[in-house]
């Protein structure tokens, strides 16, 4: 799987996690939707970190060469 396809899939899963997180707010069942909120937040964080580390590679500190001004 190429990096661009992997980036697109992880981005879609990241936004799907946000939708799952917000589902209890849309349905009006916040107290019963705590598992949805936990699952959605976990999915968003995991997919976001995987997207960053597997496809972009810019999570590490950017080295500075020369003067900073």
Model confidence over 7-55: pLDDT tens digits? 888 889 989 999 988 888 888 887 888 888 889 999 999 988 888 887 7
| 9 CA to centre of own chain | 11
Distance CA 9, CA 37 (A): 21
Q: Are 36 and 23 in contact (CB under 8 A)?
A: yes
Asked, for residue 61, whether it belongs to a domain, the answer is no
Structural domain contains residue 63? no
User: Cβ distance 15 to 45 under 8 Å?
Assistant: no
- Look-up of token digits 């997919």: 47
Q: Mapping DSSP to helix (H, G, I), strand (E, B) and coil, where does residue 60 land?
A: coil
Token pair 């009006």 is at which residue?
28
The reported pTM is 0.68
Within-domain flag for 39 = yes
Domain span at residue 32 reads 3-56
Do the domain assignments include residue 14? yes
When divided into structural domains, the chain yields a total of: 1
């Amino acid at each position: 799987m190429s990096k661009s396809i992997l980036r697109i899939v992880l981005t879609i899963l990241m936004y799907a996690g946000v939708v799952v997180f917000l589902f209890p707010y849309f349905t009006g069942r916040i107290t019963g939707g705590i598992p949805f909120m936990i699952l959605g937040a976990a999915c968003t964080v995991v997919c976001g970190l995987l997207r960053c580390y597997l496809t972009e590679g810019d999570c590490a500190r950017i080295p500075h060469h020369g003067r900073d001004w």
